[in-house]
Amino acid sequence: MENARPRVPGRVQAILFRLGVWLLGPLARVDRFDLLSRKIARAMARLTLWANRATPARDLSGVATEWERMFRESFPASHLTVIGEREAEGEITAPCPLGFTGSGNVRACDRAMEYDREIVRRLGGEFRVVESQATPGVRRCRLGIRAKD
């Protein structure tokens, strides 16, 4: 669905994303809110999928292409660098919108990345964080996307 027109324009999606970040960021930092922050991240992901008219894919190339299409306009710092046979690799080059860059709070980052995991899961794949910029000294997140077996 490369040319699917979103239900919600990219600028509006970016505003909604910032509102979600405003809510999710503080919750993800607190261990006792683990379940709640993951549920909010998954709900935000489902809203994003709906807003972008996302279509589940049958293979890795389709999952990776759909994931990248959805963020091209609203969050262009998130992109894939290689789509291989078994895994697509990518990176998020902007500083963490939740403020986790260099914080050392990798657990909070993991909770927030439930957003991306849910999106990729519903597209037909598996998402993993290879390296988090929450780790001190790391300036970008590296990620991997695989098709479900």
Give a yes or no: residue 1 inside a domain: no
Q: Is the pTM above the cut of 0.85?
A: yes
Give a yes or no: residue 87 inside a domain: yes
Question: Cα dist. 35→21, 32, 44, 81, 102 in Å?
Answer: 16, 8, 14, 32, 24
Give a yes or no: residue 50 inside a domain: yes
Q: What is the CATH number of the domain that holds 86?
A: 3.30.1380.20
Give a yes or no: residue 95 inside a domain: yes
Reported as a single tens digit per residue, the pLDDT across 92-119 is 888 888 899 999 999 999 999 999 999 9
Give a yes or no: residue 5 inside a domain: no
Specify the pLDDT at position 74: 65
Give a yes or no: residue 66 inside a domain: yes
Structural domain span for residue 127 = 10-147
Specify the pLDDT at position 73: 66
Q: Number of structural domains, the chain?
A: 1
Give a yes or no: residue 110 inside a domain: yes
